[in-house]
Structure 1
């Protein structure tokens, strides 16, 4: 039998492992699912200190509406705030399940912003590449404005999510047209209109994209052409997809138009000087807004035609709302928060032009620039940040010193500060009797209660009155106007005053 000879003297050739360099492998692992990290980062940042700032006036309106029976909620929409009615209905169901604590009221917005960060990353991946999507989502997550509206019980976070989702679904329907994809887009647009009417200005950008694809093909907006384009999108399919939104939103538009003079009586007409302040307004930081604007401009230049859709999703809503705001009082920066993810997508494209490490360093820089504003917005949601209204402190004073039979009076009663709602939210059933009210908010189908015409008669038999007035006042009783002020001054004297940020509490006795 043959004898095997040992392999003596033969050189041993080492086997090299084939694979990417370590830094490339780490990057590939990071961008494999680019939507995960922005969503997690948004959750971490937004959940941090989410209940530290107390509910402010707009959130108190949400609480007042969401805690009413559905019938009363429908009557409220017929009186004021019809445009926000669907959001109030959504929050009514949420409150029924999870309660009305500050955390419970704000949690839907936190989840919506986390979803918006994830969908922004997904949209960036679809339009450009995974790295662009990742950086766009991460940049969106660290913006102070993202935390600000994630920590607010108002519809802006949901509108932001739906705006990006509708755009992503449009891209999918344009890439591979089918009725199920157009159906998903139709549902997203209808929901967007129900949650935030002004966000429907986004459809102007969608119209531009659809028309260009219809006439010049998918490459006109930077989308790839190929077998997926065997059934090209048709303009009429897009128009049909808008029909559900048209049917559902038209009644809201008509009701909101009739209520505009009352709903927006605090808004001024737009001015050209308002435009430079918009980036800082929507991001809640002038420094971060300027950085985002610069990066977005660089990203648009780098992307070329691929920047058309996200660029239009920023510029056209801003232009339309500003133009309308020149004629009717409509220009409020937070109404345009839904455009921020598209600006982040363009900025992410600029950062994607360098290696991942320096790109992430810019994201960290944006977070550091916004850190002071992140801390400030967790102190108060009022603007300026020094304009805190301390409903919690006022309620604590009353709870610590009240006696059986005490009454409470507010001045002014019909302001947007909602002094009565702020105290009622904190004290609940422990609140002293609101002695001047003859019809409360629910009975009036309004956000304000109605008071009696003869205050002196309504105050008869009351021994002690808690007076809550807006602003810090040395003589709060002197600030109450009309018959209410006269009745209080004739029948009571000030026993003690507790000044609090944004308001003053006084104890009056006979």
Structure 2
């Protein structure tokens, strides 16, 4: 009886393993900048969220809408923000096992699901309040639905596939490149009806995504202005970047290459599902700012299945030992990502520590200023999240993020007048500086120097906190 239940519930074990691994210290690493953007967007009233999507980050708009509904039910603690990603990764592991059982055999499916569970990338993005885990889940689901539609080409099955592909694109537009790999399976089918139905399904999904793609393209220059053009080294380092550990990425690629070579047509098709999106991302990155390795996270389950196809002919103990070795090789990165989500891991940014200092020494009537206010540091969002209503008054604020319908605030044009309203002032600065006032632009530094002097400075990883006060009146 037990073996039969185990046989039917094969997908359960990788799902539980993934949930266990991603759940360990789920809330230990501070929210990082992208997660603060998720919180800022998803916590806004619906009308304000829709205005934000029309201004910037439209490509993540569907995810923000989903998270808005989730936060209304679960709250906005760090665990609540990250739990959907952990659950999505567990679901991706389960579906990877099911897909593997169908395509490369039950043993390979189980090994692929377990291998996926122990990869550092699974924990990294399973512990992040961003859409990448959801994209991975939907990509595996779409591929599984494609296999079912190819087995029995009924319109209902193709409709399910089309919905899944549209879901992939709504979660991450670039991930629609998955269908390029799917094309070789569908168009290689000798049945003309299959090719037509696949084209109709993909075409329908693309039509759904066109408005989002047009809006996202208009915002690309502002949203991805930090992305550079990739060189050959970036392409060679892509496995390690995506998997989040160079040695683990190299092992996965080596095993997957053997799987492609030994599993015939199915191995080649799985390999194309991994290789073609990677080449497309690299090629597109030569002409437009798009090369962000985490955009390729959705191909990792297919690489894990190819690697598992190599391991499946081995004795079970030997195969599981190699999966364990892959997990052990990733232990240093697993530990590091639980300390910080910043890159490199050696440069953490400890927003909670900085805000605890402010909370411990704050007095009624205190003000606060931020350095920098523009860019992607999101110091004001971090203060708003960790201190809530107890944060000092933002004395230079002229127009906040909600009114601007983006993630940044506008500061007052006359800083001297705005600073005159407080006697004690906090300066929260990006980076660790012995003299943070020296980092301020002259338009902000001059009125600060004229009215305040530093009372005390603290440094925490990645941030500097300075308390300034008015000098006592001359006698």
**Which secondary structure state, in structure 2, belongs to the residue aligned with residue 242 of structure 1?**
helix
The Cα of 1:246 is off from its aligned counterpart by: 2.1
Residue 28 (structure 2) pairs with residue 52 (structure 1): yes
Return closer, same or farther for 1:30/1:275 CA change in 2, 3 Å cut-off: farther
Residue 422 of structure 2 is matched in structure 1 by 462
Residue 65 of structure 2 is matched in structure 1 by 89
Residue 224 of structure 1 is matched in structure 2 by none
Q: Give the conservation status (yes or no) of the 8 Å contact 1:139–1:344.
A: yes
Residue 92 of structure 2 is matched in structure 1 by 116
Residue 199 of structure 1 is matched in structure 2 by 175
Give the number of the structure whose alpha-carbon radius of gyration is greater: 1
Alignment of 1:413-432 (within 5 A): 413-432=373-392
Residue 105 of structure 2 is matched in structure 1 by 129
1:369 to 329, 339, 351: 329
**Which secondary structure state, in structure 1, belongs to the residue aligned with residue 188 of structure 2?**
helix
Cα distance in structure 2, aligned partners of 1:499 and 1:361: 44
Residue 310 (structure 2) pairs with residue 335 (structure 1): no
1:246-289: CA deviations, max 9, x gaps?
23211111111111111001110111111111111111111111
Residue 166 of structure 2 is matched in structure 1 by 190
Residue 410 of structure 1 is matched in structure 2 by 370
Residue 212 of structure 1 is matched in structure 2 by 188
2:347 to 387, 412, 428: 387
Residue 142 of structure 1 is matched in structure 2 by 118
Return closer, same or farther for 1:26/1:95 CA change in 2, 3 Å cut-off: closer
**Which secondary structure state, in structure 1, belongs to the residue aligned with residue 454 of structure 2?**
strand
Alignment of 1:34-433 (within 5 A): 34-213=10-189, 215=190, 233-433=193-393
**Which secondary structure state, in structure 1, belongs to the residue aligned with residue 429 of structure 2?**
strand
The Cα of 1:308 is off from its aligned counterpart by: 2.4
Q: Give the conservation status (yes or no) of the 8 Å contact 1:296–1:350.
A: yes
| Count of aligned positions | 470
Q: Give the conservation status (yes or no) of the 8 Å contact 2:240–2:246.
A: yes
Cα distance in structure 1, aligned partners of 2:354 and 2:40: 19
Q: Give the conservation status (yes or no) of the 8 Å contact 1:31–1:131.
A: no
Cα distance in structure 1, aligned partners of 2:445 and 2:98: 59
**Which secondary structure state, in structure 2, belongs to the residue aligned with residue 498 of structure 1?**
strand
Cα distance in structure 2, aligned partners of 1:490 and 1:206: 65
The Cα of 1:27 is off from its aligned counterpart by: 8.1
Q: Give the conservation status (yes or no) of the 8 Å contact 1:470–1:502.
A: yes
Q: Which runs of 5+ in 2 are unaligned?
A: 471-475
Q: Which runs of 5+ in 1 are unaligned?
A: 1-24, 218-231
Runs of 4+ residues deviating >4 angstroms: 25-32
Residue 452 of structure 2 is matched in structure 1 by 492
Cα distance in structure 1, aligned partners of 2:303 and 2:271: 7
TM-score, normalised by the number of residues in structure 1: 0.90
Q: Give the conservation status (yes or no) of the 8 Å contact 1:186–1:244.
A: yes
Residue 408 of structure 2 is matched in structure 1 by 448
**Which secondary structure state, in structure 2, belongs to the residue aligned with residue 499 of structure 1?**
strand
**Which secondary structure state, in structure 2, belongs to the residue aligned with residue 506 of structure 1?**
strand
**Which secondary structure state, in structure 2, belongs to the residue aligned with residue 291 of structure 1?**
helix
**Which secondary structure state, in structure 2, belongs to the residue aligned with residue 269 of structure 1?**
coil
Residue 398 (structure 2) pairs with residue 438 (structure 1): yes
Cα distance in structure 2, aligned partners of 1:246 and 1:297: 31
Q: Give the conservation status (yes or no) of the 8 Å contact 1:145–1:283.
A: yes
**Which secondary structure state, in structure 1, belongs to the residue aligned with residue 468 of structure 2?**
strand
Q: Give the conservation status (yes or no) of the 8 Å contact 1:105–1:153.
A: yes
Return closer, same or farther for 1:385/1:27 CA change in 2, 3 Å cut-off: farther
1:127-168: CA deviations, max 9, x gaps?
121101000000000001100000000000000000010000
Residues 88-97 or 245-254, more deviating: 245-254
Q: Give the conservation status (yes or no) of the 8 Å contact 2:261–2:268.
A: no
